[in-house]
Amino acid sequence: MNTSQPRYRVDGVVKVAGMAQFGADFPLDRMTYGVLILSTISKGRIVRMDTEAASKLPGVLKIITPANALALPNKGVHPEMKDAAAIPMLQDDLIHYNGQAIGVAIAESLQVAQEAAAMVRVDYQSEPAQCDFMTGLNSCHPPKDGGDTANYSRGDIVAELQRSDVVLDETYSTPMQNHNPMEPHATIACWKGNRLLLYEPSQWIMFVRTCMATWFGIPEENIRVLGPYVGGGFGGKGAVWSHAVIAVMAAKMLDRPVKISLDRRQMFTITASRPRTLQRVTLGATGTGTLLAVRNDVKIHCSPLVELVEDAGTVSQSLYRADANATSHRMVSLDVGPTWVMRAPGEATGSFALETAMDELACRLKIDPMELRLTNYADRDATNGKPYSQKLLRDCYLRGAERFGWKNRDPQPRTMRDGHSLIGMGMATATYPAYRAASSAIVRLNPDGSVFVGSATHEIGTGTYTVLAQIASEVLGIDLSRIEVKTGDTNLPPAIYSGGSLTVATVGSAVHAAAEQVKQQVVQSAIRDQRSPLHLAAPEEIVAIEGQLRRAASDAGESYTAILARSGGRPVEATVEAKPDKAIDEYSTRSFGAVFAEIAVDPDFYSVHVRRFTGVYDVGRLINQKAGINQLSGGAIWGISMALYEGAVMDTRYGRIVNSDLSEYHLPVNADIGEMDISVLDVPDFKFNPMGARGVGELGIPGAAAAVVNAVFHATGKRIRDLPITIDKLLADA
């Protein structure tokens, strides 16, 4: 049974038919609706909140402010909760940023709650706020956690730069970016005595349960978190934000279910953003292109509440072979909303700077950009001296160049045209770590031959239901249509968060192991049964196919249903926690890719259009071709967006995002993206896990922005180092 073939999603019908229930879709009796009240200053404290008029509106049930909010027994001290515990929970009158949740209006209808929230008047005592990143550079500081993140080095960077024939020293910047999943954040909270039911579109429901248990002082087993479908998360739904805590608090105070759904503008303040970065990249090389030194000094903005390190410098530490290497990260604390992980955190921003710098170095040396990368190809991870579990990047370069037609590129900028348009071709390297963690799953073979697969993981739009069903199908030899998968429920075996491209490698490994245990239980039952055609067969000669167990060398065999019927007609199940094998510690585990972009630029108006994009990736085995290619394509499109469109604009006077909606926060649409040619080598990496599969969710972004930036330079001769590349930047000095 070849389960790697493209498979349509097993949950496709319910989604297309509108039957899939997302976070805000669950109807509960006596539901009430909450609308958050947000601060309008960047720093200070609340002096008074006038709620009298709002409270008198017909249908208003309660206005909750720091003055009357439920006091939480414990704000959390667990190491995993230190950042989550810093979010505002109406426990004091302090204002940390503009747009902070400072109250909530609860009403019988959403419309009344919206009107009531708008009627609340707030008096503040303001304090001077620092919201300007460039000004804040003067007072940056090392990350609190320190270690290699703050400062990393090997070799003598100064000496190697001094003996370099060519030294490139440039600064690259990326703007704040906001998570904008199709489904906004939403929470429904319902208490029954001392038990809490929570509907939460989360990337980590087990963590949500832990947080709520701690903050509200109840056992974890008293809390059930449900989120069977998540309409995109990109990292933003991997944390707990103020609205969720406030919904639980309000439901407790009213003893009725409370729903709080964020609108699009609130998603720019209540949740989080990818931080702004400023990266100074220094490369030293010989005249023939051998890298002698690589340095990347990174500055990142953070909020006063959560110090998240966008470790953009780590890409520079090992992607290319260089004896001397140094990176540093410094934090710029601003009185703005929290920053958080966003799809390919660190690698997305870091690859833009490094891969643009590599293109600049190639231009100075008059070396083909791909040849420069091949010259400095790293067979081992220089940060730890370990070999890679698998690295087929060289194959990605060569296959990608052939598919794209890289040999047809004239290396001289502004020489390629198609009619009136300037044509540019650029390329870059993609890389992202391959992670595994401990996760559990249950697999149950029912007497009728159907299978249940369950894990407290998440379907965040990536095809988790389908891929987990495929893994069980492959092991058990049972058709996909006979397999039911359930996720998004804390009553299921626990799983790690759905981020870091972890799910297939981690939860998939648990499903694989549990299905194997179930199969072996049935195999042993058949071998022991004198009535079975498999009686006394060697276990290793039995294969599972088409709902049956058969001897591999003959047609002798029987169905699962027949074997289970003779064994009492009871289900056979196994629950397994899969952990990374200690043997993996001998290797460095990463995925890689080579990406190529062709763009067209109007020489009069300098508008940029991506005509073609090619990406070839080494991800180990790809379990589902359709879902995997879609994930890589989506990531590449996000990288194109990063290069040309995306960026939050901060009003530094007031600390507020001024383009906080999808009409002004620009994202590409279908007309902005040309031909996408995405493929994988599909070579299993069995050193990484038994399936040979690594994650793909984030690998598509790294390198994509740089490929577009490099193509723009090739077309125009203008090197833009500050993203996004907007028309005004290309017109400057035109």
pLDDT tens digits, one per residue of 301-331: 999 888 899 999 999 999 999 999 999 999 9
Q: Is the pLDDT of residue 524 over 90?
A: yes
Question: What pLDDT is attached to residue 184?
Answer: 96
Provide DSSP, 531-566: TSTTTT--GGGEEEETTEEEETTSS-EEEHHHHHHH
Taking domain 32-128+182-232+237-268, whether its CATH number is 3.30.365.10 is answered by yes
Residues 6+ apart with CB under 8 A from 393: 377, 429, 431, 592, 593, 594, 618
Contact assessment for residue 87 and residue 241, using Cβ atoms and an 8 Å cutoff:
yes
Q: Averaged over 560-581, what is the pLDDT? A: 96
Question: What pLDDT is attached to residue 555?
Answer: 80
| Residue 354: closest CA among 614, 710, 48, 725 | 710
Q: Is the pLDDT of residue 247 over 60?
A: yes
Question: What pLDDT is attached to residue 73?
Answer: 82
Q: Is 698 a catalytic residue?
A: yes
Question: What pLDDT is attached to residue 76?
Answer: 59
Q: Averaged over 553-561, what is the pLDDT? A: 90
Contact assessment for residue 493 and residue 455, using Cβ atoms and an 8 Å cutoff:
yes
Q: Is the pLDDT of residue 123 over 60?
A: yes
Percent residues over pLDDT 70 in the chain: 98
Q: Averaged over 511-540, what is the pLDDT? A: 96
Residue among 310, 347, 598, 698 flagged as catalytic: 698
User: Per mean pLDDT, which range of 4-13, 110-119, 493-502, 608-617 is the poorest?
Assistant: 4-13
Q: For the domain covering 437-579, report its CATH number.
A: 3.30.365.10
Token duo for residue 151: 């400062």
Question: What pLDDT is attached to residue 161?
Answer: 98
- What number of residues does the chain have? 734
Percent residues over pLDDT 90 in the chain: 94
Where are the domains positioned within the chain? 32-128+182-232+237-268, 349-435+585-731, 437-579
Q: Which residue has the tokens 């639980």?
A: 248
pLDDT tens digits, one per residue of 130-175: 999 999 999 999 998 878 899 999 999 999 999 999 999 999 999 9
Confidence of residue 127 (pLDDT cuts 50, 70, 90): very high
Question: What pLDDT is attached to residue 95?
Answer: 98
pLDDT tens digits, one per residue of 277-291: 999 999 999 999 999
Confidence of residue 2 (pLDDT cuts 50, 70, 90): very low
Alpha helix positions (H), 544-692? 560-566, 625-644
Three-state SS annotation for 8-34: CCCCHHHHHCCCCCCCCCCCCCCCEEE
Token duo for residue 511: 């499903």
Token duo for residue 435: 């992670």
Token duo for residue 643: 């290069």
Pairing of β 324-333 and β 291-302: parallel
Q: For the domain covering 349-435+585-731, report its CATH number.
A: 3.30.365.10
Question: What pLDDT is attached to residue 1?
Answer: 41
User: How high is the mean pLDDT of the chain?
Assistant: 95
pLDDT tens digits, one per residue of 438-462: 999 999 999 999 999 999 999 999 9
Confidence of residue 3 (pLDDT cuts 50, 70, 90): very low
